[in-house]
Amino acid sequence: MSVRDTWNPAQYERFRAEREQPFHDLVALITKRQAGSVVDLGCGTGLLTAELHRELQAADTLGIDSSDAMLERARSLERDGLRFARGNISDWQPEALFDVVFSNAALQWVGDHRALFARLTAMLAPRGELAVQVPANFDHVSHTLAADIAGEEPFATAIDGYIRVFSVLPPEDYATLLFDLGFVAQTVRLQVYGHVLESPDAVVEWVRGTLLTDYESRMPQPLYEEFVARYRARLNAALGDQRPYFYPFKRILLWGRRPD
């Protein structure tokens, strides 16, 4: 099955304000300022990478992403000390160690978090800090419905029975993992971000910028339009006519520091 790059910077940034709060909360967990080198894994359009670079007063910040569409936007922000490069987090290997390894809303797309976090830990210099935010909203109807519809015809046949499974662990497992990996200080928390949206229909636009891109990348465009139409009808039926619609969104924020 061929997989297209369906990340769309304009669609993703429609909910920029709502998506930025967890980023700021994550940056606030980092104690290091005047950091030497920083990497932002799954940097997307790079807007928040540039903000991270400023906030941490870093000498050198590198944004890594696998989507050409997102990177094209990011590259327009490049300047001294701020660079972007194409790479897949699953197998990307840096040439030198980092003072901060950062990732906001991206690692949920990468499998086997135990192995992944061991690799990220190995990228950190002594006293280096890891800061990660991942969504944990997979039990909300906005997410379960996408999986249900992917399992129905004609979609199931078109995508060979593919259903997105996210590898995000429970918060306490991340805390244990950080301990097992030798982090000497840590914070792990589950936070509910409440988003007041105009109506349940706005949730469709929200997930079209993230979760649904995964299904979009695996089917022809007309079939994907049918997928979205079925998703929209069923989501509206499930959530009813609530105006505004309060969208509770769970996220895990985690931070850890390496020993000297």
Ligand X SMILES: C[S@@+](CC[C@H](N)C(=O)[O-])C[C@H]1O[C@@H](n2cnc3c(N)ncnc32)[C@H](O)[C@@H]1O
Footprint of ligand X (CB under 6 A): 7, 19, 23, 42-44, 48, 65-67, 70, 88-90, 104-106, 109-110, 210
Residues 6+ apart with CB under 8 A from 209: 8, 11, 12, 13, 14, 15
Quote the DSSP letter at residue 79: B
In whole angstroms, how far apart are CA 99 and each of 35, 71, 145, 224? 6, 23, 40, 42
d(CA 126, CA 7): 35
CB of 62 to ligand X, least distance (A): 12
Please state the separation of Cα 236 from the chain's center in Å.
25
Please identify, using beta-carbon distances, which residue of 8 and 236 lies nearer to ligand X.
Answer: 8
Nearest to 195 by CA among 247, 235, 145: 247
AA identity, residue 188: V
CB of 124 to ligand X, least distance (A): 18
d(CA 101, CA 93): 13
Please identify, using beta-carbon distances, which residue of 110 and 197 lies nearer to ligand X.
Answer: 110
Residues 6+ apart with CB under 8 A from 154: 223, 226
Please identify, using beta-carbon distances, which residue of 23 and 215 lies nearer to ligand X.
Answer: 23
CB of 219 to ligand X, least distance (A): 18
CB of 75 to ligand X, least distance (A): 13
Please identify, using beta-carbon distances, which residue of 19 and 258 lies nearer to ligand X.
Answer: 19
Please identify, using beta-carbon distances, which residue of 71 and 178 lies nearer to ligand X.
Answer: 71
Please identify, using beta-carbon distances, which residue of 107 and 149 lies nearer to ligand X.
Answer: 107
CB of 116 to ligand X, least distance (A): 10
Q: Is 162 helix (H, G, I), strand (E, B) or coil?
A: coil
Q: Is 186 helix (H, G, I), strand (E, B) or coil?
A: strand
* Residue with nearest beta carbon to ligand X: 44
Q: Are 45 and 69 in contact (CB under 8 A)?
A: no
CB of 56 to ligand X, least distance (A): 15
Please identify, using beta-carbon distances, which residue of 37 and 66 lies nearer to ligand X.
Answer: 66
CB of 173 to ligand X, least distance (A): 21
